[in-house]
Amino acid sequence: MSVTLPRTPGNIGPHSRGVFIISVTPFTESGEIDWPSVDSLVEFYLAKGVHGVTILGMMGEAQKLSDSEQAAFAKHFIARVAGRVPVIVGVSNPGTDNLVALSNVATDAGAAGVMIAPMAGLKTEVQIRDYFATVFKRLGPDIPVCFQDYPMGTSVNISVPAFLQLVDEHPSLAMFKHEDWPGLRKLQQVRRACDGSARRRISILCGNGGLYLPQELHRGADGAMTGFAFPEMLVEVCETFFAGRPDAAEDMFDCYLPLVRHEQQIGVGLAIRKEILRRRGAIACAAARTPGPRLDRDDLEELDRLLRRLERRLAGVARSSSGVAA
């Protein structure tokens, strides 16, 4: 038994919870955006119960799209979701004008917020602070922002006090995407500092492929923001956890952990994720845009083996009424 977390169509805010799936961007074999697959992908994610979607993230290959493709993708995706869940749009860009332009497109199309990582090249916390001062000023007060803390991708590191200063200075900073690694202690420090009492509450969702999701929930995370190809597991883990059954949640998680770990290989992991989504019927073609990873025969056999093992394990769990850890 699990709770059903709300799937509210409004803006992201202090009480956003659950699973915001990081959407892939489907391409045809020749590298064009595959619009029918965008539609089927939206329906796939919603059918799996996600509480929100984040598009145009790093795993959405946003940096390989043209500006007009980004805008068109955001509009199409949001229109297809049609308010059933909130949609966050990744807008990180080396140019602030470009960032703002896409943010406005997204907001006009109905996005629930935008996600911004500190620009690569920022070296000190003063520089991070100055950067976001400009960005928030340009965005204005009405666009909710999710701060993406992903040093492995950006090479920008921020300490907890420096992040809290951003929270204090920018009321529209509404969400913290935690994916510093390792970062369990950092997540917990942010949670305690932004708990609605010591300081206004912000929502904390976790990335890093979900590799530490049960630990992150124990530490105070509100859910996951990652793109694992079995979103229903992320959803069930979160809902079971918030229903007060953490061990059952973690049992479910552990069943999938071999695959979570397999997908969490920087680079090739995207190809694995897309291949699974293809096999599950979510998208028609697994290709990543150039330059992007491709699976070879060995990779595919390895994936076959892992998926067979997952099936077997889930079957075993189903047979046992009391679960694997019972």
Contacts with a second copy by CB under 8 A lie at 31, 61, 63-68, 94-98, 101, 119, 123-127, 131, 134, 138, 151, 157-162, 181-182, 184-185, 188, 211-212, 215, 218-219, 247, 250, 254, 257-258, 261-262, 265-269, 289-291, 296, 298-299, 302, 305, 309, 312-313, 316, 324-326
Q: Of 95 and 142, which has the nearer Cβ to a second copy?
A: 95
CB–CB of 226/45 below 8 Å?
no
**Minimum CB distance to a second copy smaller for 10 or for 94:** 94
- Report residue 124 as tokens: 């000190």
CB nearer a second copy, residue 112 or residue 303: 303
What pairs with residue 115 in β-bridges? 90, 146
Comparing CB distances to a second copy, the nearer of 12 and 259 is 259
Residue closer to a second copy by CB (options 84, 245) is 245
Q: Are 270 and 288 in contact (CB under 8 A)?
A: yes
Residue 49's alpha-carbon distances to 6, 68, 228, in angstroms, are: 10, 30, 13
> Residue 95: CB partners within 8 Å, gap ≥ 6?
none
Q: Which residues contact 268 (CB under 8 A, 6 or more apart)?
A: 293, 295, 299
**Which residue, 48 or 274, is less far from a second copy as judged by CB?**
274
Q: What is the C-alpha to C-alpha distance for residues 306 and 275, in angstroms, rounded to an integer?
A: 13
Whether the Cβ atoms of residue 289 and residue 64 lie closer than 8 Å to each other:
yes
Closest CB 315 distance from a second copy, rounded Å: 10
Q: For the CB of residue 43, give the shortest distance to a second copy in the complex, in Å.
A: 27
Q: State the Cα–Cα distance between residues 44 and 36, nearest whole angstrom.
A: 12
Q: Which is nearer to a second copy, 47 or 324 (CB)?
A: 324
Q: How far is the CB of 296 from a second copy (least distance, A)?
A: 7
What whole-number distance in Å separates Cα of residue 173 and Cα of residue 133? Answer: 11
123/280 with CB nearer a second copy: 123
Smallest gap from residue 271 Cβ to a second copy (A): 11
In the bound complex, what is the minimum distance in angstroms from residue 157's beta carbon to a second copy? 4
Nearest CA among 203, 198, 150, 156 for reference residue 176: 203
Q: In the complex, what is the shortest distance from the CB of residue 283 to a second copy, in angstroms, rounded to a whole number?
A: 19
Q: What stretch of H or E contains 267?
A: none
Burial pattern 123-144, b for ≥16 Cβ within 10 A else e, equals eebeebbebbeebbeebeeebb
CB of 65 to a second copy, least distance (A): 7
In whole angstroms, what is the distance from residue 272 CA to residue 257 CA? 15
Q: How far is the CB of 111 from a second copy (least distance, A)?
A: 19
Distance from C-alpha of 128 to C-alpha of 135, rounded to nearest angstrom = 11
